[in-house]
Amino acid sequence: MTSQDTNQQRSLDTFLARKAEFDALLAELQQASADHFGADPDAVLWGQAAWLTDASRRLRDITDQHFHRGEYAA
């Protein structure tokens, strides 16, 4: 195996490990979202709305990076 092949394999292994971590985080967020992030509908306060606004902004930034939208557009 050449050093280029070794490097490629190590890159792939690292990518797949990071992807597994990413997928696990997404699954956690999906479960939390299904549970309304633990918010009681009868007791939701501005703090929960603000947290969700910030979390959505962060996720939008990630999707914009990936799909080259907004400030990341080519």
- pLDDT tens figures, 2-46: 999 999 999 999 999 999 999 999 999 999 999 999 999 999 999
The pLDDT assigned to 1 comes to: 84
Please state, in angstroms and rounded to a whole number, the distance separating the CA atoms of residues 29 and 73: 26
- What is the predicted pLDDT for the residue at 22? 98
User: So what's the pLDDT on residue 54?
Assistant: 98
Please give the pLDDT value at position 38. Answer: 94
Cα separation, 24 vs 15, in Å, equals 14
Tokens 């190590």 sit on residue: 10
Q: Which amino acid is at 30?
A: Q
Supply the pTM of this predicted model.
0.83
How many angstroms separate the CA atoms of 29 and 32, rounded?
5
- What single DSSP character describes residue 73? -
Per-residue confidence band for 73, with pLDDT thresholds at 50, 70 and 90: very high
